[in-house]
Amino acid sequence: MAELQLTVPYRSVPAKIVFSSMCALFPFWAIIAPAGLGFLIGKALATPESISVAATILGCISLLSFTLLAIAITAFSEHNRIHVSKDGISFPAFLLPALKFRRTRNWSELVSADIFVPSDFNSDTEHDKDRRQLLLTFDSGSCLVLKLNWFTKEDVEQLLLAVELWASNCKRSTNLIEYQTQIQNQSHGVAKIGYTQMWEEELSRRFQSTSFVPLEPAKQLQNGRFTVVRQLAFGGLSAIYLAQEKQLDLVVLKEAVVPSSADPQARAEAEQRLVREAEMLSRLQHENIARVMDHFVEESRHYLVLEYINGADLRQYVKQNGAINQVTAIKWGLQILDILQALHSQTPPMLHRDLTPENLVLTKASQIVLIDFGAANQFVGAATGTVVGKQAYIPPEQLRGKAVIESDLYSFGGTMYFLLTGKDPLPLSISRPSSVLPDIDEDLDDIIATCTAFEPEDRFHSVDQISDRLGAALVRLDKTSEPADTTIGASI
């Protein structure tokens, strides 16, 4: 499972003013002052009788101090990024006084988080609503106030999500939870309901399972063999956890539950299917597929134990770095196709049914690794009638319960569309990146459109067919010298 790490710009207005001022004064502290220092030292050495030793020392100390202070102020005001990871949060240097001169704090030190509007503003107006501030209180007694209008809304959403996921000891106020829900709804378009969202809501009503209570951090399984560190994702009747095996190695646990109301025969068949697919997955040996190391049942919950892959999943990567250029997208696409080929070449062919940007991780070595499988999803689906796959990436025949090899190719086309445009494809639609990127290579656009054709017979019928076309497009685009994506792995 991907390990989320964020770099969030904090665009402080005072810091910007100070940095701009230091840039304007650059000739004085970077040129004139050092030149004056050199002149003073040179004159004192050449004609010592013309200036006293005391005056020389005082002048040198003053000019040197002025230069060093200017450099320090410039560096402090220029650094404006907040770094967030599972281990803690690191703030810009200019916030040091409020943090009692400790820039980096562990999540365990954060005791409360609140959203408030300063008392000297009327929160009923839209202007003053932009004055919301985030108050973070640490166990050392230090309080840090961050103005939300100095972040983008996307960065605020990510920062609040990090607090929710990792600051397990933090008490989040009602105001904060309401504000977080509001911006999450806005980012998903809840405020403006369209046909796509209406379709997604209907799909959820028809197919989403009754929710269950996921495991809490520190929960132990298999007589202490596994200790849950935290939830990574959950929904319906399944959840994914980061866990420690024997208090040493990190692993990922994928959990699935069949409700007690399920038909006994369907339940038995589903459980047998999970065991068969888990055993088949455990035999897969591929450098771009996270290994399934074990499977077990405990308290009527079924678990797959997966290899932990450190990196950013493709959705995280695109969200932080923007859409991917064509050459890089094709190179990544060929790696994804190699993964699908490994699955489809099994006897019988193994269909993934849930290929999405969230299930693909970019490692520090710029390798794409599949980190999640459809096995547990198929298991739940057989017993409950749930749909497998993210809604925007589900082909029509999969909604009817008749997934085929071409179904995975449809999801592949949707994933390529997302990489190139930074947008999810419209559900049940042919995806053409040219609708967003008019200058995209025509053949690449046609390849993705063919992958996402409405009917399976109108799509490519094998991984090899797509690989050949993508390989030819890569050779052609390489000749046009499209710049490579130099940011690969930078945010991992």
H/E element holding 464? helix 463-479
DSSP structure string for 274-326 = HHHHHHHHHT---TTB--EEEEEEETTEEEEEEE---SEEHHHHHHHH-SPPH
Q: What whole-number distance in Å separates Cα of residue 353 and Cα of residue 374? A: 6
Q: What is the residue extent of each domain of the chain? A: 8-78, 81-187, 220-479
Domain 220-479: top CATH class? mainly alpha
Across-strand partners of 254? 240, 304
Helix (H, G, I), strand (E, B) or coil at 186: helix
Q: Any residues with CB less than 8 A from the CB of 13 and at least 6 apart, and which?
A: 150
Q: What whole-number distance in Å separates Cα of residue 420 and Cα of residue 471? A: 17
428: left (phi over 0), alpha (psi -120 to 50) or beta: left
Q: What is the pLDDT of residue 119?
A: 60
Topology of the domain covering 81-187: PH-domain like (2.30.29)
Q: What whole-number distance in Å separates Cα of residue 274 and Cα of residue 292? A: 13
Q: What is the pLDDT of residue 445?
A: 97
H/E element holding 143? strand 143-147
The two structure tokens encoding residue 106 = 């562990």
User: Could you list the mean pLDDT of each consecutive 10-residue stretch along the chain, which spans 492 residues?
Assistant: 65 78 86 88 84 86 89 76 85 84 89 81 49 89 87 83 80 84 62 42 43 80 93 72 88 79 70 74 86 87 88 89 95 96 88 89 91 56 46 84 91 97 91 94 96 95 96 88 43 32
Return phi, psi of residue 437, to 5°. -120, 90
Q: What is the pLDDT of residue 245?
A: 93
DSSP structure string for 104-171 = EEEGGGEEEEEEE--TTS-TTSHHHHTT-EEEEEETTS-EEEEEGGGS-HHHHHHHHHHHHHH-TT-E
CB 190 within 8 A of CB 200: no
